[in-house]
Amino acid sequence: MKPSSVLVALLFASASALRLPSLPSRPSFKRTAGIKPLRASGLYDPANVPNAEECDIAQPTNCGEPDGPFAGITRTLNELQEKGFGAAALLGATAVSLSLANGPSSAWWVGLWESPLGPAIGGHALSARAWVNEGLMGVFFFLVGLEIKEELRHGALTSVKKAALPAIAALGGMVTPMAVYAAAQGFLPVAARSLSGLAVPMATDIAFAMAIFGLFRSKMPASSSAFLLTLATVDDFGAIFVLATCFAANVSLGFLGLASALTAALGWIGCGPRKCNDARVFTAGGVGIWWSLLRAGVSAEVAGVLAALCVSTTAEGPPGAIEDPLAERMIRRLAPLSTFGIMPVFALANTGIPLMGVMKGVSGPGAGAAAGIAAGLVLGKPLGIFGFTWLATKLNIADMPTGMGNNHLSIVSMLGAIGFTMCLLLTEVAIPAPIQALPKLSVLVASTAACVAAAAWMSKLPDLKQRRAQPGDLYG
């Protein structure tokens, strides 16, 4: 059997192991009246609003009822996302890309993503893969940026006390994988050692991890959802910082200054006295920042985060939509686009790995990077998240969220090892193109292993009858 057939079968088996549930009918959801005034007063606590759950990218149905001509489709896709079908779409796209890259159409498929497409920008034409990684991923990062902004203003990052434990967990989940990566190089032949992928295993795929968690939400305490989402948000913020600062090349200070000026202007428009509520303004501003960063030599997808941080979380939608803040409206509209559109396309563009060619490079630096990435994700991530969290609670720096025990923390730590799209993106910019194939394969295998392990672990837990957060829960 061909290696590609084995890996594709593994991916499909992983999807089957998730046991995606059927989608039940559900009543129309509308956010509880009175949340916004409580938020404005600074007294908002979800434990005091029994029927309300926080709006976030993992639960877009909590962001209000969709409107517009595509409301029905948006509602259905958001519900499908919360049931874990986004993970299945991502795995399916990966299996398709691997199959095409190792079949009779291999040369066409690989060449398709490397071919120049569209107008030249800054003197060079972007390939189809670059448009996906630098362009479409900007929309995904915009969504991540909205989540960061929501957490900073209304979630678990509003105070040092709330942010302490998930931030410490995220720190452990970033530094420990890199330490394990570096340590792994010492066990390899000199010719195979490589530090080029040192930053790759630091990242967590927030969308994929939350999708797997969502399949077993009834088996985990409510506080663990917010804990995982917050640590993954901080983790992604760290990865975005690395993308923006460590992999910039031939930086143009003029265009970097233009991007800064556009960001400042957009921030004043969005968060100034008038608090702009027009999504088109942020779209235009984001495109301007994206173009400036691309010309400046900085990872242009970071423009999505910068534009999102300029959106006010209290800016309302059209007149009459008093419970429809712009940030939440954009989350519920963009979440299905990202989950069922951008992420699968990213997988198609970046996981077309010719496996026969990979086998020829098992003794070179690509092998060292691959071994370090696998060890960093499968060992370093869970050890870092669990170890730093456990130590912080033992030193009384922070308290474990209500309802969470070491068993739940271990599962969250394993979910943090799902690197997938974020690790693939870091692989693209950190590791030289000729040796990327084996490290990419390592990301896929390690992430799949973490996904299956976490899913199997959660499937053994009993259902929790009472999942509502209790008063005093730091993340409730």
* Interval 306-320 mean pLDDT: 76
- Residue 295's contacts (CB-CB under 8 Å, 6 or more residues apart) are 121, 122, 252, 255
In whole angstroms, give the CA distance from residue 372 to residue 184: 6
Q: Is the pLDDT at 439 greater than 50, yes or no?
A: yes
Among the ranges 114-128, 175-189, 325-339, which has the highest mean pLDDT value?
A: 175-189
- Would you state the pLDDT for residue 455? 93
* Interval 11-29 mean pLDDT: 44
- Would you state the pLDDT for residue 469? 45
- Would you state the pLDDT for residue 246? 79
pLDDT over 90 for what percent of the chain?
32
Greatest Cα pair distance, the chain, in angstroms, is 67
In whole angstroms, give the CA distance from residue 300 to residue 307: 12
Q: Is the pLDDT at 318 greater than 70, yes or no?
A: no
Contact predicate 431/196, CB 8 Å: yes
In whole angstroms, give the CA distance from residue 82 to residue 123: 42
Query: Model confidence over 150-168: pLDDT tens digits?
Result: 877 877 677 777 788 999 9
In whole angstroms, give the CA distance from residue 371 to residue 355: 16
* Interval 36-42 mean pLDDT: 45
pLDDT band at 170 (very low <50, low <70, confident <90, very high): very high
Strand pairing category for 116-121 and 124-127: antiparallel
- Would you state the pLDDT for residue 52? 45
Query: Model confidence over 81-140: pLDDT tens digits?
Result: 888 788 889 889 999 999 998 889 889 998 999 888 887 766 667 889 989 988 898 898
In whole angstroms, give the CA distance from residue 35 to residue 68: 23
Q: For residues 339 and 148, which has the higher predicted lDDT (pLDDT)?
A: 339
- Would you state the pLDDT for residue 310? 92
* Interval 423-432 mean pLDDT: 89
Average pLDDT, the chain: 81
* Interval 64-71 mean pLDDT: 78
- Would you state the pLDDT for residue 130? 87
Query: Model confidence over 369-398: pLDDT tens digits?
Result: 999 999 999 999 999 999 999 999 999 888
Residue 346 φ/ψ, nearest 5 degrees: -60, -45
Residue 62 φ/ψ, nearest 5 degrees: -80, 0
pLDDT band at 25 (very low <50, low <70, confident <90, very high): very low
Q: For residues 351 and 413, which has the higher predicted lDDT (pLDDT)?
A: 413
Query: Model confidence over 227-258: pLDDT tens digits?
Result: 998 898 888 888 888 887 777 777 888 989 99
DSSP string, 266-318: HHHHHHSTT----HHHHHHHHHHHHHHHHHHTS-TTHHHHHHHHTS-TT-B-S
Contact predicate 457/215, CB 8 Å: no
Query: Model confidence over 45-67: pLDDT tens digits?
Result: 444 443 346 777 778 888 888 87
Contact predicate 412/385, CB 8 Å: yes
- Would you state the pLDDT for residue 466? 47
Its pTM stands at 0.77
- Would you state the pLDDT for residue 199? 92
